[in-house]
Amino acid sequence: NICVSQDFDFFYFVQQWPGSSCDTQQGCCFPQTGRPAFNFTIHGLWPNFNNGSYPSNCKSVENSFDESKISDIIPRAEISWPSLSCPSKKKNSTNSDNMKLWKHEWGKHGTCSYSVLDQHAYFDFTLNLKDHIDLLQILLNNGIKPDGEMYSVEKIREAIKEGTGFEGGIRCNTDASGNSQLNEIVLCVDKSAASESFIECPILPDANCPDDVEFPIFYESPLIDTA
């Protein structure tokens, strides 16, 4: 066909609340390095089109996942980009596999922005984005706490807008008793992948949250007691 080299239009930068993986039917597992820090963690950086569709699995010979290419940034990824999925049905007992998540994210999403970010740059850039925005602090500043209570999605939206300067997407999942809860927060990033290049989303990800959602507890936190 006559399509021009428009690989994708922008990125979704997706962060997940660990408490919302752990209280599901499937439960969560932690990597060998232990329980993640009490904050949002990275799910992925996803190239997207302006119309809401997205490319995936743009795998080729030259971009196949190579663990050795990210050895220098693994310590940072272990802290900010842990996998919380249990490797088997034995929930809450075995360790999750970080490398499997990173390989999956690279293969499904990262390969589609290979023209802008090679494998090392993809992980480095994504980890840097996380350092620029403290989502938990932004929510706490607005009285939105991971205390298992219900919060208005509108209030969460406003807090993100005020704290980041941009509209964010909010993705929900359900806990083991079927309650909708805040699972992921999505921000948009310019396709040029210049540093700190958050942008207004050309299109927000599919909204699947009701008006009010639970913000689940993730272990105990001194932040909750003092807030």
Residues 74-103 that bind ligand 5GP (CB under 6 A): 83-85, 101
Which of 87, 165 has the CB closer to ligand 5GP? 87
Nearest approach, Cβ of residue 182 and ligand 5GP (Å): 14
Non-local CB neighbours of 68 within 8 Å, separated by 6+ positions: none
Tell me: does residue 216 bind ligand 5GP (CB under 6 A): no
Question: Is 43 marked active-site?
Answer: yes
Q: How far apart are alpha carbons 132 and 194 in whole angstroms?
A: 13
For ligand 5GP, give the closer residue by CB, 85 or 142.
85
The DSSP letter of residue 51 is T
Tell me which amino acid residue 94 is: T
Task: Please list the residues that pair with 173 across neighbouring strands.
Answer: 181
With 0-12 / 13-18 / 19 or more C-beta atoms within 10 angstroms meaning exposed / middle / buried, residue 113 is: buried
Residues 6+ apart with CB under 8 A from 227: 140, 143, 145
Rounded least distance, CB 226 to ligand 5GP, Å: 28
179 lies in the binding site for ligand 5GP (CB under 6 A): no
Record the tokens describing residue 210, joined without a space. Answer: 């009701």
Q: Is 163 in the site for ligand 5GP (CB under 6 A)?
A: no
**13-42 binders of ligand 5GP (CB under 6 A):** 16, 21
Q: Which residues are catalytic?
A: 43, 105, 109
Chain contacts with ligand 5GP (rule: CB under 6 A): 12, 16, 21, 43-44, 46, 48, 54, 83-85, 101, 104-105, 108, 205
